[in-house]
Amino acid sequence: MTTHSIDLSKAKVAVLMGGLSAERDISLRSGAGVLKALQSKGVNAHAFDPAQKPLNDLKQQGFTHAFIALHGRYGEDGAVQGALELLGIPYTGSGVMASAIAMDKVMTKRVWTAMHVPTPQSVWLAPEDQTPEAIAKIPAQLGLPLIVKPPREGSSIGMTKVTHASQMAEAVALATRYDADLLCEEFVTGEELTCPVIGSGAHVRALPVVRIAAPDGMYDYNHKYFTNDVQYHCPSGLSVEVEQEIQRLVVAAYRALGCRGWGRADIMLRATDGKPFLLEMNTSPGMTDHSLVPMSARAAGINYEDLCLLLLQSASLDHPLEGAQQA
């Protein structure tokens, strides 16, 4: 990975937003916020929607850096990161490999399990394994309630909380609309938490934990972005010891995946024994007015505009091309 100091007087920054994923609308909102923040700091920043323009236009139009405000497929999964590597344009967030692994919840679980990071028990079914008999066995394997989700989507898209075995078929049908593979996960009853991480290498640090209180314990797509029914607590109200342990675990999970720049981990704190379980790592978290990274950053004394500038200054490349001109 190569990082470098950004001369803002010479930089021309593309805020990548929109894109082709199921999270396009949220990405447009994130991108609009980031764009306004960077411009308010005097950055020569412009909106760029990869769904409307070829990425090669970035080079032709003289962009020197990219702030990735894309969410989901093609923006958070290593695809656009790989293109930016080839173009030699430093970008915010994790590199190609970490982005690809973190976007795939099955692969994330495999890495975390190997590194002894606690994550809920799960059953993964490839398309050829999704027989009625295999699906019918899952409630007995994981217990009820359980979560059925597509392994490569974000923002809780396609996710169902199954409380009765009779709901499995409908839950599977919804999840497989978004992904051919299927992930069924043990439901951990307890506090829902999220914890952002910023930095790379030895400079990684966790920001304050946010505790989420959603109606009926379901923090779904609608509650995340379109209602005010969810209560967010930051400071979290957890004991200092518990908060610090969660932050330690989240940094370990971030490093295990090879993340850099920034990210946000989702965690469940089991009610019966207070044990934390990592659910996923978001490598291009939301930056809307409902988003949790800005909320946590504010609690740490970092306002939205300064946060966006801090993230931009972390823009980097995995492998600069020999002879490539860097800003």
Of the residues 266, 284, 296, 314, which is catalytic?
A: 266
Question: Do residue 241 and residue 272 come from a single domain?
Answer: yes
For 208-225, give one letter per residue: b (16+ CB within 10 A) or e.
bbbbbebeeeebbbebbb
Is it the case that residue 2 has pLDDT exceeding 60?
A: no
- Same domain, yes or no, for 180 and 63? no
Q: Of 18, 21, 23, 291, which is the active-site residue?
A: 23
- In this predicted structure, what is the pLDDT of residue 7? 85
Task: Indicate whether 321 belongs to any domain.
Answer: no
In this predicted structure, the answer to whether residue 228 has a pLDDT above a threshold of 90 is no
Confidence of residue 223 (pLDDT cuts 50, 70, 90): low
Query: What 3 state SS string does 17-73 have?
Result: CCCCCCCHHHHHHHHHHHHHHHHHCCCCEEEECCCCCCCHHHHHCCCCEEEECCCCC
Q: What percent of the chain has pLDDT over 90?
A: 85
Amino acid present at 149 = K
Cβ neighbors of 227 (< 8 A, separation 6 or more) are none
Mean pLDDT of the chain: 93
> CA-CA distance, 96 to 303, in Å (whole number)?
28
- Asked if 211 and 150 sit in the same domain, the reply is no
**In this structure, what CATH number is given to the domain that contains residue 157?**
3.30.1490.20
One domain for residues 107 and 209: yes
Is 44 an annotated catalytic residue?
Answer: no
**What is the reported pLDDT for 226?**
58
pLDDT band for 3, please (50, 70, 90 cuts). Answer: very low
Answer yes or no: is 316 within a domain.
no
Residue 219 predicted with pLDDT over 80: no
Average pLDDT over residues 147-168: 91
Number of domains in the chain: 3
Q: 61 and 130 in one domain?
A: no
Confidence grade of residue 327 (pLDDT, cut at 50, 70, 90):
very low
Asked about 222 being catalytic, the answer comes back as no
Q: Has residue 268 got a pLDDT over 60?
A: yes
Assess whether 37 and 55 both reside in one domain.
Answer: yes
* For residue 216, pLDDT beyond 90: no
pLDDT at 8: 80
23 is catalytic: yes
Residue 113: inside a domain: yes
Q: Residues 17-50: pLDDT tens digits?
A: 999 998 999 999 999 999 999 999 999 999 999 9
Q: By the 8 A CB rule, do 221 and 157 touch?
A: yes
- What is the pLDDT, as a whole number, of residue 294? 98
Residues 287 and 297 in one domain: yes
Which of these ranges, 9-18, 83-92, 149-158, 258-267, has the smallest mean pLDDT?
A: 149-158
Pick the catalytic residue from 99, 286, 291, 304. Answer: 286
Does residue 327 lie in a domain region?
no
100-110 per-position pLDDT tens digit? 999 999 999 99
225 is an active site residue: yes
Quick check: is 266 catalytic? yes
Given the residues 178, 219, 225, 304, the one annotated as active site: 225
Between 221 and 104, residue with greater pLDDT: 104
Catalytic residue, from 27, 30, 99, 155: name it: 155
Same domain, 134 and 227: no
The model carries a pTM of 0.92
Q: Is residue 56 predicted with pLDDT exceeding 60?
A: yes
Same domain, residue pair 83 and 213: no
State which residues form the domain around 231.
Answer: 101-118+188-308
**Of 49, 191, 280, 318, catalytic:** 280
Assign 298 a pLDDT band (cuts: 50, 70, 90). very high
